[in-house]
A and B are shown apart, each in its own frame.
Chain A
Amino acid sequence: MKPMKKYIIISVCLSVAFSACDNDLDEIVYSDVTEQTYTYTDAYKAMGIVYANMRSLYSHTNYYMAQETSADGIVMPANASGWDDGGIYKRMHLHTWNSENPQMSEMWNSLYRGVLNANRIIEQLESGKVPAPSGVSKEALIAEMKVARAFFYWLILDNFGNAPLVTTVTSELPENTPRAEIYRFVVDEITQALPNLNEITDQAMYGRFNKWGAKALLANVYLNAQVYTGEAKWEDGITQCNDIINSGKYSLDGNYRNVFETLNEDSPEVIFAVPFDENVATGFSSHMFSWHGALKDKVNMQATPWGSGSAMGVSQFIDTYDPADERLADTWLMGPQYAADGVTPLKGTYDQAGKPLVFTKDLPDGLYTGEAEGFRMNKFEVKEGARGSLSNDFPFFRYAQVLLMKAECLLRTGRSDEAAQLVSQVRQRAFKENPEKAIITGNELLENSSYNYGYVENYEIVDKGNTAAVPFGRLYDELGREFAWEAYRRRDMIRFGTYTTKSWLSHKPVGDYRALFPIPQQAINSNPKLVQTEGY
């Protein structure tokens, strides 16, 4: 037995040696930081993500193009270079989208991501985990975040109707909250936040919600209140607009194009912008999905637009422009295209292979076009040497919109002449050569829309469809022209009653329920408590 003992001793020694091996299974991070160990020192570093979340709204399969291509101004047809992608763009035009269209999940996810980040940061600010910088009150930052959250909730209730209203950090699956209740939440939150918001309009608050941005947001919510709750809030809208106008902090930019140029952060017209940068804050690529690949040489881009581009003007919409309206050329890329030298014609590649690239207005239909058909995006400057993403900031709320919101509230409450003055004021810079054309009267504003609605086959309107007059039609037209490519058209059409009733291009009315988008299937699938939007 003696040797046995020796071996036992050896074994024990070995085991002891092994206990030197570290059995601790706690994870050690190197190139990550964790919530548990990170110390917050800068409130803006925490808050910033909420604003950054807004940028994702601008992809061609998110909020931006969902607003535009489901409306009557812009369409994204397939063409020889592609752009079918399983029909996801076509279905936006036809109002036959379903809950699996990526636009639904991308919009939903982007908007709620903003909400969820805001919820977390509001709690972190309240608890002091995220400290306010010296000279700034914690309440001011909380108010700002609450307005940002209200901004996301406004777009949620606007697009999806009854949707979850989550205001705290939780992992509990939420149910739908009625649209009107979300509306009340949005109004209350902004109203309560206003006293704590600052009035600074310089670069310190650029891209963030100051008092005027919050008021512009609130005015938009009131403008559409009737759609959301059945109860109009025109007077409240006027009040918010007046506050902004009377503050004297903003004015119309003398030059329409300046509002959309690459360095548009200095425009006096911008009240709230979503800032972009071609390198560090990408995501604004309207040139990539509207422009033809050959246009790369137009401004010596450092990227090639996708195929022959797709997003283009609906010909009937283009027809609503007065030829003298400078916004036509300021908004749309038309006619023959040249390289940066201005003389070398750019050529087609597909059905116009080798032929000069000339963008034409008329579309055969909204489903499939030639590579050079349709006017393209010209509103946002595409700078010399542009990359795949633009540095132009997206002006979400601007002074012209405040003026026209006020005009609409006045018009709808019987003050058409007063409204006409505001509309004329906005139109002035669009008719610099023909100033008399800028003037519009109250009575004119009340006329039917000049939009020649109807279903198009092979370039011709073959079925006018619903021909009922559009009330306040000329203001409606004005909104269309002034805000083309600015993601307002769907909301405006719904407010003016045309979105689910009129026919344009290949679109025919499908049903009033299409005024809301379906909750994405992905969300329904993973949250059994959610009820799908009525009609879907």
Chain B
Amino acid sequence: MQNHLLSELRYILLLTLVLLSNVGLAQGIAVQGKITNGNGTSLPGVTVLLKGTSIAAPTDIDGNYSINVPDRNGTLVFSYVGYQTQELPINNRTTINVTLQDDAKALKEVVVVGYGTQKRERVTTAVETIDSKDFVKGAVNDAAQLLRGKVAGLNIITSDANPTSTSQINLRGITTLLGSTAPLVLIDGVPGTLTTVAPEDIESISVLKDGSAAAIYGTRGTNGVILITTKQVNGETPPTIDINTYFTTQVITNKLAFMNAAEYRQLVEQGKPGAIDYGYDTNWLDEVLQTPLSQVYNVSLKGGSRNTNYIANVNYRDTEGIIKRSNNQAFYPRLEVNHIMFDNKLKLSANIGGYQQKYFAGSDGGSYRGDVYRNGLTYNPTDQPRDENGNWVERPEKTDYMNPVALLEETKGLNQNTNLRTYGTITYFPINDLTINLLASRDTYNSTRGYYETKNHYSTVHDARNGYASRGTTRSQEDLLELTVNYDKTFFNDHHITALGGYSWREYNYEDYWMQNWDFPTDDFSYNKMGAGLALKRGQAPESSYQSRNKLVGYFFRLNYSFKDKYLLMASIRHEGSSKFGAQHKWGDFPAVSAGWNIKNEPFLENNELISALKLRSGFGVTGTEPSDPYMSLNRLNFDTYTLIDGQWIQVINPSTNANPDLRWERKEEFNIGIDYGFLDDRISGSIDLYKRTTKDLLMEYPVPTPPYLYNTITANAASMENKGIEVQVNVVPVQTEDFQWNTSVNYSANRNKLLSLSDENFQLASGYFDRGETGEPIQQRTHRVQVGQPIGNFYGFKTVDIDENGYWIIEGKDGERKPIADQQADDKQIIGNGLPKSYLSWNNSIAYRGFDLNVTMRGAFGFQILNMPNMFYSAPVMLTRGNLLVSAYDNIYGKQPLADDQSLQYVSYYIEDGDYWKIDNVTLGYNFTLNNKYLKRLRLYASASNLVTFTGYSGIDPEVSINGLAPGIDNKNRYPATSSYTLGTFLTF
């Protein structure tokens, strides 16, 4: 396969070179010159066009051009992405030097929307496009982090610093319960994930926020759509090499104050139950943490002629995590070749990319084992990692208590993932205004996992595994075929229509194999010789394999109409079928309409100096969600259970789930109203959006009664939910001079979520609630309640109000009276907080002074609570029997006295804290050198700090905790710790 791939690559390269050598030469009078930008930097790749003709030439690597024109009376048009286009008459000159001015506005002129682009002034939906120059600078792990704090309503949460984890994304609240809350991510039109492309290879990202924008994607459009456009090459471009490289290190944001050996010994002296002095002094956290160094290199080569151009991008990232051994190495190659032929009537584009990734597997199948950090906090500080004989010290009789250093050192693990994406488009322009586009893609993903715990690992000490190995592999393939026909025409000057029709076919196949084995004769095999273990032979170890397939087929149509660019209308519909639904419910229709009034274009505002942009827009759209798993509508049987029949254990038939033949599309209806504004030549600009999203036929794991159902849940469409919110974006350019420019923008979003119903004609949840979230052992309580009339994310537990003279909690009973916690009843529980932030605010600043630029991103989340799990477990004296505690464990509660030594752990409101935070999230200082070098065109150095300072009342390590799912806002005790990171980087252009 590898060889085959290489030969394919070679072929494409060869083809590219052949085509490159075919650049033709024209005849006539030569006009030449040099093109620079405001900083005096020469600009390669600027298109110089003789107006009204197809005669054009690009600037070379030094910014020089030479164009042959028939005579000296024409006008030259100088255009370049990101700069204002200039037109200059030749006026008999033979040398014309030009300085192009930055044009922030020009960039915003066109936005990427579903299946195409649109002039911004014609957009009637809530769409935000962020260009690469506005991305978050500094170290990022995935595409989402580029947008952190940039788009109102798009909340990007990085809840830990695990180098393999990706951002959590939440757009306009939680609208779906069962499917993922992550938006649909399309990379150049092909579905992918936030890590499908290297962040440094991204040109721009569009976010389709409202339903009327997303509805054209029908399926999976409910959480919004993120359209990633990779770096592009347009028109004639001299060969250009861009290099972007940076180095990052991290420090833990906050070390929780656990007792050191001396503090712990005081407890031993006091005879506290469970305190044992082993006579040593170990800082366990330091034993498992490291000072990581990460490196990222991005090299791109682009170039080409008018007819054929290419871009090759190579990205290598070697990331280390703050926990020892945790890492992530990825290599992202991408090659794109475009070719225009048949008198510009046919455009071909071929793209091959993907990644090869590998990282240390600290747990079976995963990258990080949560017990490492937790035991780093809680292992007895008077104990030692190894005894005098060099053996690991383990205390296996203690619950959940493992030597964290041994956990790390006695594990061998490697996960290797390969993603290969090949796609191509054929675009045909049969007549003016008509575009037929065919997109075909294949995305294959392979993952091979190996994991081994040696005979010195806890698994042998505790469970006599005697060497434990696991292997797994996954393959998935997603095929996509899309045909779109687009017609774009202006009639009678004032009427502009764009009509789009399309067909989409997508098939997804997933295969997985997995086996474990233990009791190996030697550690030397690691996970490489699974057959050498004995547990599989004894019938003890599990093996599994799985395969599934699902399919989506859609037809869609969209019509845009604008009259004089003043009155704008859009209507679209997608008719889509998914194999995952019941036989009678496969197809759904997802319509959308939106309208806009571009008031600025009305005669009464046209010449208004104050108002530079003003548009009202409103839309309504329906999007759909399918469940993540297939086959939920089928009566599936398994043979996983054994019964003794006639002395033999035979595999018996067991229904797998409650099948739901009525499973159908979840539908989200969204109403959006917005205004785009600009004042003083857009020195002040922005938008305000109000939305209301109602999700109906909500797919969820619905609680059903046994009997008549065999199991307690069924995947069904029996709930509805509402989200209402506001998003405000304000961009201001307070200072704009030749040398000094300051751009500042503030965005704010607030969302209110409410569960409307948990019943339909087939299912009635009489209680109006169900509980989710787990405290884990030894509390074993649900943390959250999902309840009709209430928002998602409510913490539900006992409300502590006091502590009694013996050190036991006093809680508030259901009648409002105080009662000892020992007398708790289930119905004494109440809502004690909510883990979902009600509002987000961010403030971005970018300041440019001569060659310097300074970017400061600040952001915060407000109106939510966090369950401080480390506090709940380790500030309770009773846990001293299981290891070390926080220094605060013996502090007075409610200013009265500490908790009793035998007050059992309780999930109570005392551990729910306000989570509001404001972060100086990113500060980047860069300098662009003024160069006059033949080869080096651009040199930029920068230093950056991320997650720098957090202002919060929260006492845990970082208030930016997971907001996923139905149990948001838990600061898990096993969480991979959060970090601040410091980066040095450089950009070079040759």
Q: Which A residues form the contact surface with B (CB < 8 A)?
A: 3-4, 6-7, 10-11, 14-15, 18, 21-36, 38, 40, 44-49, 51-52, 78, 80-88, 96, 98-100, 102, 105, 108-109, 112-113, 115-117, 164, 166, 170-174, 203-204, 206-208, 275, 277, 279-281, 292-294, 296, 300-304, 306-308, 349-351, 353-354, 368, 385, 387, 521-528, 530
19 additional A-B pairs beyond A21-B481, A303-B464, A385-B464, beta carbons within 8 Å, are: A4-B431, A21-B553, A29-B636, A31-B548, A34-B635, A35-B637, A44-B645, A49-B654, A52-B652, A84-B778, A85-B777, A86-B906, A86-B907, A166-B708, A171-B708, A296-B397, A302-B464, A526-B704, A528-B764
Check if B735 is an interface residue, CB within 8 A of chain A: no
Query: From A273, which residue of chain B is reached at the shortest CB distance?
Result: B644
Q: Which of B428, B639, B653, B710 contacts A113 (CB 8 A)?
A: B710
Tell whether, in the assembled complex, residue B708 and residue A109 are in contact, meaning their CB atoms are under 8 Å apart: no
Check if B577 is an interface residue, CB within 8 A of chain A: yes
Bound-complex Cα distance A347 to B547 (A): 49
Tell whether, in the assembled complex, residue B553 and residue A81 are in contact, meaning their CB atoms are under 8 Å apart: no
Tell whether, in the assembled complex, residue A3 and residue B637 are in contact, meaning their CB atoms are under 8 Å apart: no
Q: Chain A contacts of B274 at CB under 8 A?
A: 80, 350-351, 353
Q: Chain A contacts of B428 at CB under 8 A?
A: 10
Bound-complex Cα distance A164 to B706 (A): 10
Bound-complex Cα distance A49 to B462 (A): 33
Q: Chain B contacts of A96 at CB under 8 A?
A: 825
Tell whether, in the assembled complex, residue A524 and residue B273 are in contact, meaning their CB atoms are under 8 Å apart: no
Q: Chain B contacts of A6 at CB under 8 A?
A: 430
Q: Which of B538, B647, B651 contacts A279 (CB 8 A)?
A: B538
Bound-complex Cα distance A230 to B550 (A): 58
Report, nearest first, the 10 A-B pairs whose CB atoms are least far apart. A48-B652, A48-B643, A82-B778, A525-B767, A35-B635, A30-B547, A527-B705, A84-B904, A293-B397, A85-B780
Per-position contact with A for B356-396: 1 when CB-CB < 8 Å, else 0? 00000000000000000000000000000000000000011
Measured between C-beta atoms, what is the minimum distance from A458 to chain B in Å?
14
Q: Which of A40, A170, A204 contacts B646 (CB 8 A)?
A: A204
* A523-B706 in contact given A45-B652, A81-B399 (Cβ < 8 Å): yes
Tell whether, in the assembled complex, residue A304 and residue B397 are in contact, meaning their CB atoms are under 8 Å apart: yes
Q: Which of A170, A204, A350, A351 contacts B708 (CB 8 A)?
A: A170
* A36-B635 in contact given A86-B907, A350-B273, A354-B276 (Cβ < 8 Å): yes
**Please, could you name 27 A-B residue pairs with CB atoms under 8 Å apart, sorted by A?**
A6-B430, A11-B485, A21-B505, A26-B579, A30-B549, A31-B545, A32-B631, A38-B653, A45-B650, A52-B641, A81-B398, A84-B779, A96-B825, A99-B826, A109-B706, A116-B710, A206-B646, A275-B643, A279-B538, A293-B398, A293-B399, A303-B463, A304-B462, A304-B463, A525-B767, A525-B769, A526-B767
Q: Chain B contacts of A3 at CB under 8 A?
A: 430-431
Measured between C-beta atoms, what is the minimum distance from B713 to chain A in Å?
10
Measured between C-beta atoms, what is the minimum distance from B974 to chain A in Å?
17
Query: From B642, which residue of chain A is reached at the shortest CB distance?
Result: A280
Q: Which of A45, A51, A109 contacts B712 (CB 8 A)?
A: A109
Tell whether, in the assembled complex, residue B655 and residue A35 are in contact, meaning their CB atoms are under 8 Å apart: yes
Query: From B587, which residue of chain A is reached at the shortest CB distance?
Result: A25
Tell whether, in the assembled complex, residue A29 and residue B634 are in contact, meaning their CB atoms are under 8 Å apart: yes
Q: Which of B438, B462, B483, B707 contacts A115 (CB 8 A)?
A: B707
Query: From A308, which residue of chain B is reached at the shortest CB distance?
Result: B397
Q: Which of B483, B583, B767 contacts A521 (CB 8 A)?
A: B767
* A11-B436 in contact given A30-B548, A31-B545, A525-B767 (Cβ < 8 Å): yes
Bound-complex Cα distance A108 to B707 (A): 9
Tell whether, in the assembled complex, residue B646 and residue A85 are in contact, meaning their CB atoms are under 8 Å apart: no
Bound-complex Cα distance A307 to B400 (A): 9
Tell whether, in the assembled complex, residue B710 and residue A46 are in contact, meaning their CB atoms are under 8 Å apart: no
Check if B456 is an interface residue, CB within 8 A of chain A: no
Tell whether, in the assembled complex, residue A524 and residue B767 are in contact, meaning their CB atoms are under 8 Å apart: yes
Check if B540 is an interface residue, CB within 8 A of chain A: yes
Bound-complex Cα distance A306 to B826 (A): 26
Measured between C-beta atoms, what is the minimum distance from A294 to chain B in Å?
5
Chain B residues 618-677 with CB under 8 Å of chain A are: 630-631, 633-639, 641-647, 649-656, 659
Query: By the criterion of a CB under 8 Å from any partner CB, how many residues of chain B are at the interface?
Result: 100
Bound-complex Cα distance A14 to B428 (A): 12
Tell whether, in the assembled complex, residue B705 and residue A523 are in contact, meaning their CB atoms are under 8 Å apart: yes
Q: Chain B contacts of A108 at CB under 8 A?
A: 706
Measured between C-beta atoms, what is the minimum distance from A151 to chain B in Å?
15
Bound-complex Cα distance A98 to B825 (A): 8
Tell whether, in the assembled complex, residue A528 and residue B778 are in contact, meaning their CB atoms are under 8 Å apart: no
Tell whether, in the assembled complex, residue A18 and residue B707 are in contact, meaning their CB atoms are under 8 Å apart: no
Check if B574 is an interface residue, CB within 8 A of chain A: no
Tell whether, in the assembled complex, residue B505 and residue A18 are in contact, meaning their CB atoms are under 8 Å apart: yes
Query: From A351, which residue of chain B is reached at the shortest CB distance?
Result: B273
Q: Chain A contacts of B779 at CB under 8 A?
A: 84-86
Tell whether, in the assembled complex, residue B656 and residue A32 are in contact, meaning their CB atoms are under 8 Å apart: yes
Check if B108 is an interface residue, CB within 8 A of chain A: no
Tell whether, in the assembled complex, residue A301 and residue B464 are in contact, meaning their CB atoms are under 8 Å apart: yes
Q: Which of A28, A45, A207, A528 contacts B644 (CB 8 A)?
A: A207
Tell whether, in the assembled complex, residue A304 and residue B631 are in contact, meaning their CB atoms are under 8 Å apart: no
Q: Chain B contacts of A45 at CB under 8 A?
A: 639, 650-653
Per-position contact with A for B19-45: 1 when CB-CB < 8 Å, else 0? 000000000000000000000000000
Q: Chain A contacts of B540 at CB under 8 A?
A: 279, 387
Q: Chain B contacts of A294 at CB under 8 A?
A: 397
Q: Which of A25, A88, A296, A307 contacts B579 (CB 8 A)?
A: A25
* A528-B649 in contact given A38-B637, A174-B708 (Cβ < 8 Å): no
Bound-complex Cα distance A304 to B398 (A): 10
* A275-B826 in contact given A23-B553, A528-B766 (Cβ < 8 Å): no
Q: Which of A11, A32, A82, A171 contacts B636 (CB 8 A)?
A: A32
Q: Chain B contacts of A47 at CB under 8 A?
A: 652
Bound-complex Cα distance A409 to B428 (A): 93
Q: Chain B contacts of A303 at CB under 8 A?
A: 462-464
Tell whether, in the assembled complex, residue B902 and residue A368 are in contact, meaning their CB atoms are under 8 Å apart: yes
Bound-complex Cα distance A85 to B463 (A): 23
Tell whether, in the assembled complex, residue A166 and residue B707 are in contact, meaning their CB atoms are under 8 Å apart: yes
Q: Chain A contacts of B767 at CB under 8 A?
A: 521, 524-526
Tell whether, in the assembled complex, residue A349 and residue B636 are in contact, meaning their CB atoms are under 8 Å apart: no
Bound-complex Cα distance A277 to B641 (A): 12
Query: From B506, which residue of chain A is reached at the shortest CB distance?
Result: A21
Q: Which of A100, A166, A280, A293 has the most CB of B within 10 A?
A: A280
Query: From A102, which residue of chain B is reached at the shortest CB distance?
Result: B780
Tell whether, in the assembled complex, residue B643 and residue A49 are in contact, meaning their CB atoms are under 8 Å apart: yes
Tell whether, in the assembled complex, residue B399 and residue A32 are in contact, meaning their CB atoms are under 8 Å apart: no
Measured between C-beta atoms, what is the minimum distance from B237 to chain A in Å?
31
Check if B824 is an interface residue, CB within 8 A of chain A: yes
Check if B723 is an interface residue, CB within 8 A of chain A: no
Check if B803 is an interface residue, CB within 8 A of chain A: no
Query: From A348, which residue of chain B is reached at the shortest CB distance?
Result: B397
Q: Which of A31, A49, A292, A301 contacts B653 (CB 8 A)?
A: A49
Check if B83 is an interface residue, CB within 8 A of chain A: no
Measured between C-beta atoms, what is the minimum distance from B905 to chain A in Å?
7
Q: Chain A contacts of B631 at CB under 8 A?
A: 27, 29, 32
Q: Which of A4, A81, A206, A368 contacts B647 (CB 8 A)?
A: A206
